A and B are shown apart, each in its own frame.
Chain A
Amino acid sequence: MRFTIEQRPEPSVTMRLAAPVIATALTLFVGSILFLALGHDPLRAFHAFFIQPISTMNGLSELLLKASPLILIACGLAIGFRANVWNIGAEGQLIMGAIAASGIGLFWPNPDSVLLLPLMFLAGMLAGMAWAGIPAFLRARMNTNEILVTLMLTYVAALVLSWLVHGPWRDPMGFNFPQTALLPPAAMFEPFDYAYRLTPAIFITVVAVIAMWLFTDRSFMGYKLTVGGAAPRAARYAGFRESSAIWVGLLAGGGAAGIAGMAEAAGPLGQLSSTISPGYGFAAIIVAFIGRLNAFGIVLGGLLLSLLILGGETVQITLGMPSAITRILQGILLFFLLAADFFIFYRLRRLKEAV
């Protein structure tokens, strides 16, 4: 018996709804086998992975704290991705945003100014945009590959950060740790409750999600970008400029990442250190695609990935599983999610034997 894969004439609505359910079921199934093989009770393992992390207030706070930058960056990136502009250097743009914002926070003449946070916000955003502006300029003018340029600039940004925290910006009172002095209180978001780490910076993400939805769903510019991504020749036919899609696509991602970097420095971290981000800039790419480049999908994707990160930590701590296992489980879930998505647009058909 032979099968062939063919495109569905129209995307299947049933599959669109069923895909996440199927993916979850398959993940639970394969995950159970994995846990059993390792000698763990699958029920306990899944409980530790998916329930335990969010069964406390602190857990919920951490969930949102981690989801917030992921969602924020993914919203910015998705605007570019919709237009086939592949910014995979959000990590570097986040770092530059954090550096610029921290620079303002540390060295602004008046450390008590109420303008400090807004200025840092602006600085973070502009620094992220500037860092993304380099590949935009190079692609628009010289047709360089933005995938390579954004990625390489990430390493440049990481080295700049490393140089700053090891050298000129290192805290003289910091026992030689590679980090800056703490930001003054006026340069930081005040947590909702000092028992938890979540700050009002999450509202920035809420605004970004709404803005992203408005932009992609309602604005003409967003429409042009979508056309440019879905059918570049149709965009040229209609006279939509490719260069503006490149600029908007990259600057949106860079700006969002820069703001996320600012919010990290001015939020949970409170200072600049050589490890400012646990890879939010890269994880946000996954979030953007889990969310199908759609604002509300990205919210769900961000929460899911955040939960996977937290759950992974929990099973390592409570069940003593190696960190590789948690990453395998994360991989399995993402794989099934994307694989199930495939069947929204394609189907298997049995081939009749040729006579």
Chain B
Amino acid sequence: MTPRLELKNINKRYPGVVANDDISLSIMPGEIHAILGENGAGKSTLMKIIYGAIEADSGEIYCDGNLVERHNPAISRQLGIEMVYQHFALFESVSVVENIALAMRGRFDLKALSEQVRALSQRYGMPVDPKRIVHDLSVGERQRVEIVRCLLQDPKLLILDEPTSVLTPQAVEKLFETLRQLAAEGCSILYISHKLEEIQQLCERATVLRNGAVTGVADARTTSSLELARMMVGSELPKTSHPPATPSSEPVLEVRGLTAEVAEGFGVSLRDVSLSVRAGEIVGIAGVSGNGQAELISYLSGETIAEKADTVRLLGQPAGHLDPARRRQRGLAFVPEERLGRGAVPTLSLQENAILTGHRRGMVRHGLLDRKKAAEFADHVIRRFSVKARNAQSVAQSLSGGNLQKFIVGREIELEPKVLLVSQPTWGVDVGAAAFIRQTLIDISRQGTAVLVVSEELDELFEICDRLVVMCAGLVSRPLETAETNREEVGLLMTGLDKTTQSRKEVDLALHD
């Protein structure tokens, strides 16, 4: 049988990153095929290449045995490839059928289309009222609209990008039934996820990606979660060579029962989060991003103010009510995930960006800027962290992501903080510099700084952290001693397989629906 879709040696690189490294895979008609990998493994890039939204640097795509020579989304749709994005593209102020009509080619008759939508949605067991305004629909219903929109095109291959990340368990079950029905009718399904359990439940085969390359193709139904997790997060042994921690007895950064409800679709609600970091140790937060890390970090940095001051404690004092400036005054420093626009002002020079958080270190006198001091500080950071920039006058946005990251990490470390929060410390940074940043983090922790690291890279966390917690769906796991745990345990916690948290999650989500 000819595969529905076949990829041969797909390569795609972005400056400094290989997003897809020589990827080949094939999907048969009627097959439900999983693409499994951590965030940043290259899944989304690959899907966009298949859909034609971006172009591969090299490689070939065959559809039903025919080489696809020119590719773009319009051609995809001619070929019968449809994609449901992770983030929906619906107009909220108009009705379901009008939204669907917008995506149709040529003329349409709203009345007939309504009937078609109704019939189709009934047939696949996902009822949608075509007349309702999208604004009033729940997230699950919106996804149905997206899927119905694709199904109207009578697709031969349906791509779903992390479709369950916004769904309740009940909605997931319904979605799976629909997908199985579709597959039984001959439609191939490419299912992108990092959730092992779902993939085992739904898919026949799974292609596992790590760092942009295929690490294996497995039979999803017979391979154990442990094995899949290992393929996904990698099994190289950590290069831990850091001196033992001598942490303080009292925590210097503490979160106590932080709960923060967020309206659905506006982020992840934090649920009774507690954790503590002592002076002299590095604590890592593992987890696939989008599970509440960003929200938690912004409560810690002060960009979001907590309702109760006591839920965040800094150096033994309640700090949840303090703004970022006051927290910094008390000795907090923070490297955010986004470098441009948050950690640095894109249009300002490095020297000016040094002032952003370094202004307490003598760069401001009598309300006036001391540009010389700022330049000295910036030059020092540039030298110590080997930032590749012409000089301190270079504009932040002219630097590569990795180099700007080095500058921001360096700037925050040079502030000699008592507590350092770091999000994704080595994202996009080359191997050598990443090692240096990790070593520096270990060094300052051994000098008495409390360091909290959020990272998607398990290898990195295992290499530098003394303790780990795992975040999943707004919940934080119990702390694990890095020396006493392993990737498998963490990997399972990351995908929500831990029995205790899983049952709680289900209860909460069920109440939600």
Contact = CB atoms under 8 A, between A and B. Distances in A.
B384 interface: no
Interface in B383-435: 395, 398
Nearest to B341: A231
B352 interface: yes
B325 A230 contact: no
A230 B342 contact: no
B303 interface: yes
Interface in B358-387: 359, 364, 367-369
A10 interface: yes
B368 to A, nearest CB: 5
B343 A234 contact: yes
Interface string A206-246: 00000000000011110100110011011011111100000
Interface residues of A, number: 21
B60 to A, nearest CB: 14
A89 to B, nearest CB: 27
A230 B343 contact: no
A37 interface: no
A238 B341 contact: no
B398 A237 contact: no
Contacts of B289: none
Contacts of A142: none
B297 to A, nearest CB: 11
Interface string A327-353: 000000000000000000000000000
A239 B323 CA distance: 6
Size class of the B contact interface (CB-based, 8 Å): 20 to 34
A9 interface: yes
Interface string B323-358: 111111000001010100111111110001001110
Contacts of B348: 226-227, 230
A13 B355 CA distance: 25
Nearest to B356: A238
Given A10-B398, A238-B356, A233 B341 contact: yes
A314 to B, nearest CB: 40
Contacts of A10: 395, 398
B496 interface: no
Given A218-B369, A230-B346, A238 B357 contact: yes
A310 to B, nearest CB: 36
Interface in B236-258: none
A240 B364 CA distance: 14
Contacts of A324: none
Interface centre among B302, B336, B343, B345 (most CB of A within 10 A): B345
Contact of B345 (A9, A227, A239, A241): A227
Given A218-B368, A220-B367, A234 B355 contact: no
B301 interface: yes
Contacts of A236: 303, 324
Given A221-B367, A223-B352, A234 B345 contact: yes
B70 interface: yes
A231 B326 contact: no
A260 B302 CA distance: 41
B70 A354 contact: yes
Nearest to A238: B356
Contact of A231 (B303, B327, B345, B368): B345
Contacts of B364: 220
Contacts of A11: 395
B328 A239 contact: yes
Given A220-B364, A223-B355, A237 B369 contact: no
B72 to A, nearest CB: 9
Given A221-B367, A239-B324, A239-B328, A231 B357 contact: no
Contact of A220 (B327, B342, B368): B368
Interface centre among A220, A227, A230, A234 (most CB of B within 10 A): A234
B348 to A, nearest CB: 7
Interface string B276-304: 00000000000000000000000001110
A234 B341 contact: yes
A227 B346 CA distance: 10
A241 B326 CA distance: 11
Contact of A233 (B325, B327, B338, B357): B338
10 contacts: A9-B398, A10-B398, A220-B367, A223-B355, A230-B347, A231-B345, A233-B341, A234-B342, A234-B345, A236-B324
Interface of B: 70, 301-303, 323-328, 334, 336, 338, 341-348, 352, 355-357, 359, 364, 367-369, 395, 398
Interface of A: 9-11, 218-221, 223, 226-227, 230-231, 233-234, 236-241, 354
Given A227-B348, A237-B336, 8 more contacts: A220-B364, A230-B345, A231-B341, A233-B338, A234-B345, A238-B356, A239-B323, A240-B325
